[in-house]
Amino acid sequence: MIELIDVNKTYRTARGDVAALTGVNLTVEDGEIFGIIGLSGAGKSTLVRCINMLERPTSGKVLIDGEDVTKASPKRLREIRRNAGMIFQGFNLLEQRTVEENVRFPLELAKVKRADAEKRVKELLSLVGLEDKNKAYPSQLSGGQKQRVAIARALATNPKYLLCDEATSALDRATTESILSLIKDVNAKFGVTVIMITHEMKVIERICDKVAVICDGKIAEVGKVADVFSDPKSDTAKELVLPDLVKSMNAGDGYKFRLIFDGKGSAMPIISDLAIKKGVAVNIVFADTKDINGKIFGHLVFTLSGGREEFEKTRDFLVGNNVKFVAEKGEKRL
Amino acid sequence: MSQMLKTLFEDGTILTGLWETTYMTALSTAIAYAIGLPLGIILCATDKNGLKPVPWLNKTLGFIVNVLRSFPFIILMVAFLPAARVIVGTGLGNKAMIVMLVIAAAPYVARMVESSLKETDRGVIEAARAMGASDFEIIRKVYLPESKPSLITGAVISAVTVLGYSAMAATIGGGGLGAIAVTYGYQRGNRDVIWIAVAIIVIVVQAIQELGMLVSRKTDKRIN
């Protein structure tokens, strides 16, 4: 388990102090794939680096399995780091070493015997599907292959945790997908707890169990991916989950409804029922639903052309059908 | 061809000169690296963005290096004569010249090494740190091997610079091709001796340059 307790990080610059993280509290349970999403400059990279002390928090505690790593001795810290593999957006492979030498690198640092290391390297390369590239140099590999090598290298010392800093941001769609499924496999097979930093919703939605939304160095929202996605509470989360939703919420001054599909309600045809059974004509201004783990999540925003009476009819109908919704009049956000 | 040039070839003076130039250059460059390489590593590591920032040490070393590099070589040779006497027991000849070359080249090499090491991708260093590498391991297993091609290029440039300086050996009674050009060519008015000496130096420089670049390219795994 990784716990961040009231973590603050301030950078001293020539133009004064800049707060990168403010009062961050987070708990990552063992075996989870925990996503941290935010816009660029939100402090995500600093946050993940505070876990393995690549960045030292200005104040606060970082507990890994109960041990405060901010107080660890340099020697102990190196051991802790071996228990938390890390992969990066830029892969960060040693360019002058072959694929197998790269994967062997952390084993050399851990003083693993040469023969055992060779065996482990073989296992890892077959895990990431690059057995035949063992003698290649990074410059001869594609981006996806480089990230596979980086994953193999990060897993070499059998870490309990895997920290991923924008691991798929430099990759195209298909490669992203294959890297994500590899990470998911690693999580499922070896029970490695994964922390994924990203600015892409699709990454979170594809493999994460939980997500924390970070904005201006503060945690805006934490929860199960399904909950945060179906009903984002914070403005940042709304903007990240559904950028167009925010725009649509500000349009028009009539009665507005936002229906929330959180994977629990039935897939009944609400809108047509509303029109047929209640005679209410709706004007759909926004709709976005997605399938997450086989359940429907998303939002549907509509406005009413009628007045108070239609509003009440609609509201009662939605309540009666157990549909989660938010209703508002005018330009207020839903 | 002047009679002088013919004599110099026949009595082996040219060949001896070539040998003296080569060994002065090779030995001085080697010793300069023995001093400059660790110095360059310290300069890189103690930099404010380095592995272990130590501002006072970095600034002090940087200052000494800059001062030594500011000396015009011809003045350095005179200024450090007493130092040569202490180190090799004489202020004259090839031995003293090697001391001078080392004093001139070591700070130069330190800067070369520093700049090569600083080219290392910061992300790779961060990755090594995340894998639990100590500062020493990062220097030995990341900085040095990753910048090897650049270090070799630097060594070639340093060796060529040292070779150029070594031509001034005549000033303090040393030998080599430079001394031949001055003594038999310039002072006795045999222009062709000067040109032949220069031509041989050009060939030696070319050989070092080409060979060094070939090795640098061969060791660099980023291109192929």
Express each pLDDT in B178-212 by its tens digit.
Answer: 999 988 888 888 888 999 999 999 999 999 999 99
Q: Name every chain B residue with its beta carbon within 8 A of the beta carbon of A105.
A: 128, 131, 141
Give the tens place of pLDDT for each residue, A95-124.
Answer: 999 999 999 999 999 999 999 999 999 999
Please name the residue that has the structure tokens 């340093």: B158
Q: Dihedrals φ, ψ of A295, to 5°?
A: -120, 155
ipTM score: 0.87
Answer with the residue of higher pLDDT: A275 or A152: A152
Are the Cβ atoms of A96 and B146 closer than 8 angstroms? Answer: yes
Answer with the residue of higher pLDDT: B3 or B56: B56
Chain A nearest-CA residue for B51: A54
Are the Cβ atoms of B129 and A106 closer than 8 angstroms? Answer: no
Residues 6+ apart with CB under 8 A from A89: A165, A166, A167, A169, A170
pLDDT at B6 over 80: yes
Tell which residue, B32, B53, B222, B219, has the closest CA to residue B135. Answer: B53
Residue A12 CA to residue B56 CA, distance in Å, equals 20
Tell which residue, A92, A105, A85, A97, has the closest CA to residue A186. Answer: A85
Residues 6+ apart with CB under 8 A from B103: B68, B76, B80, B83
pLDDT at B157 over 70: yes
Give the tens place of pLDDT for each residue, A206-246.
Answer: 899 999 999 899 999 999 988 887 778 888 887 777 666 66
| pLDDT at residue B112 in the model | 96
Are the Cβ atoms of B131 and A106 closer than 8 angstroms? Answer: yes
Chain A nearest-CA residue for B222: A139
| pLDDT at residue B215 in the model | 93
pLDDT at A42 over 90: no
Among A139-153, B86-100, B108-122, where is mean pLDDT lowest?
A: B86-100
Is pTM beyond 0.90 here? no
Min Cα–Cα distance to chain B from A195, Å: 15
Measure CB to CB from residue B146 to each of A77, A94, A106 and give the nearest one.
A94
Measure CB to CB from residue A78 to each of B134, B142, B219 and give the nearest one.
B134
Measure CB to CB from residue B126 to each of A54, A94, A98 and give the nearest one.
A54
Tell which residue, A212, A183, A215, has the closest CA to residue A3. Answer: A212
Min Cα–Cα distance to chain B from A93, Å: 6
Average pLDDT over residues A258-282: 77
Chain A nearest-CA residue for B129: A54
| pLDDT at residue A279 in the model | 82
Average pLDDT over residues A165-192: 94
Average pLDDT over residues B61-65: 96
Q: What percent of chain B has pLDDT over 90?
A: 77
Please name the residue that has the structure tokens 């660790």: B38
| pLDDT at residue B126 in the model | 96
Are the Cβ atoms of B222 and A94 closer than 8 angstroms? Answer: no
Q: Domain B23-176 class?
A: mainly alpha
Chain B nearest-CA residue for A89: B123
Average pLDDT over residues B47-71: 95
Average pLDDT over residues A134-141: 95
Tell which residue, A241, A197, A49, has the closest CA to residue A183. Answer: A197
Residue A283 CA to residue A301 CA, distance in Å, equals 9
Min Cα–Cα distance to chain A from B224, Å: 7
Any CB–CB contact under 8 A between A317 and chain B?
A: no
Tokens coding A120: 């482990």
Measure CB to CB from residue B221 to each of A92, A137, A153 and give the nearest one.
A137
Answer with the residue of higher pLDDT: B78 or A6: A6
| A143-155 helix and A99-109 helix, angle to the nearest 10 degrees | 20
Q: Name every chain A residue with its beta carbon within 8 A of the beta carbon of B146.
A: 94-96
Question: Which residues are bridge partners to A88 per DSSP?
Answer: A165
CA quadruple B19, B25, B28, B32: dihedral, nearest 10? -160
Give the domain ranges of chain B.
23-176
User: A95 and A139 in contact (C-beta within 8 Å)?
Assistant: yes
| pLDDT at residue A333 in the model | 47
Query: Which ranges in chain B belong to alpha helices (H)?
Result: 3-10, 13-45, 55-70, 73-79, 81-88, 93-118, 122-130, 135-138, 144-146, 148-166, 177-180, 191-219
User: A38 and A63 in contact (C-beta within 8 Å)?
Assistant: no
Among A170-174, A234-238, B57-61, B109-113, where is mean pLDDT lowest?
A: A234-238
Residue B39 CA to residue B1 CA, distance in Å, equals 48
Q: Domains for chain A: give ranges and CATH numbers.
A: 2-237 (3.40.50.300), 242-329 (3.30.70.260)
Average pLDDT over residues B36-40: 97
Which 8-state DSSP code applies to residue A139? G
